[in-house]
Amino acid sequence: MRKLSSIILLGCFCLYYFGYLIYFYAYQHSLNREWEESIWEELYDDSATEMREIPLSLPYMANQEFFQTTNLAMEVDGEFLRVVKQRYQNDTLQLIYIKDHQQQQLENQVNDWIRSITDQSPQNKQERNQLFAKLFPKDFMAAEIPKLKTAFIQNTFTRNWPLQADYADIATPISTPPPQTG
């Protein structure tokens, strides 16, 4: 009975810390799959598309007469976009995109989740990952840090590390001279 209850509590604990991440990656995968289907079958609304031109000089790149269907996700100034068509014309990459409101909503949900766990709100993806990295080990390692400090101090003075290899001088005398060539 104790084993079962500990497994259930461990499952709840893992769900608390990792459940939202599992949801995030599963939902993101689902969004990508939906976009892929709608882009390749051209089921998206053409009136919602916008065009962005990016100056890009590529040597030996030929001008493309028609747009090519593509499926790219990108973030520009905190706004999520889904590129549906692209072409290279006169040293300019022309992108036709649709604003990805579902990805924006998912990102806002993750930021709200992090804000509910911590006092800080992340400004970008890197800061969000750093906040989660700080949060996660803190709960697991808080009781272990004093033990690690005392073990480090004891082993430093006694030089008794379990994985420490003492390096010895391995220079051996040369008994014969090197061969002479020529």
For 155-181, how does the pLDDT look when each residue is reduced to its tens digit (9 = 90+)?
545 454 454 444 455 567 777 887 888
Residues 28, 32, 37, 42, Cα dihedral to 10° = 120
pLDDT tens column, 60-111: 888 899 999 998 898 888 899 999 999 999 889 999 999 999 999 988 888 7
pLDDT in tens, 43-57: 888 888 999 999 988
Q: Give pLDDT, residue 83.
A: 92
Q: How many CB atoms lie within 10 A of CB 59?
A: 4
- Asked whether the beta carbons of 92 and 72 are under 8 A apart, the reply is no
Is there a domain that residue 90 lies in? Answer: yes
Q: Write down the pLDDT at residue 98.
A: 93
In a domain, 60, yes or no: yes
Asked if the structure places residue 53 within a domain, the reply is yes
pLDDT given at position 134: 61
For the stretch 101-147, pLDDT in tens is 999 998 888 878 777 776 666 666 676 666 656 655 554 544 555 55
**Is position 93 within any domain?**
yes
Could you give the CA distance from residue 43 to residue 18 in angstroms, rounded to a whole number? 34
| pLDDT the model gives residue 123 | 63
| Residue 86 lies inside a defined structural domain of this protein | yes
pLDDT for res 175: 79
Closest by CA position to 45, among listed 82, 86, 74: 82
Whether 76 is in a domain gets the answer yes
pLDDT at 180: 84
Six-digit token string for 37: 């289907």
For residue 144, being part of any structural domain is answered with no
**Mean pLDDT for all residues in the chain:** 78
Strands, DSSP E only, in 16-140?
A: 50-55, 68-76, 79-88, 92-99
Structure tokens at 75: 């973030």
Angle, helices 101-117/125-141, rounded to nearest 10 degrees: 30
Tokens encoding 5: 């209850």
Q: Which domain holds residue 72?
A: 44-99
Q: Does 85 or 24 have the greater pLDDT score?
A: 85
Residue 57 lies inside a defined structural domain of this protein: yes
Say what the pLDDT of residue 99 is: 92
Mean pLDDT of 25-35: 90
Number of domains observed in the structure of the chain: 1
Does the pLDDT value for residue 1 go beyond 70? Answer: yes
- DSSP letter at 73? E
Output the CA–CA distances (angstroms, integers) from residue 117 to 17, 105, 131, 148, 175, in the order listed: 10, 19, 10, 27, 69
CA distances to 38, 136, 138 from 121, in Å: 34, 16, 18
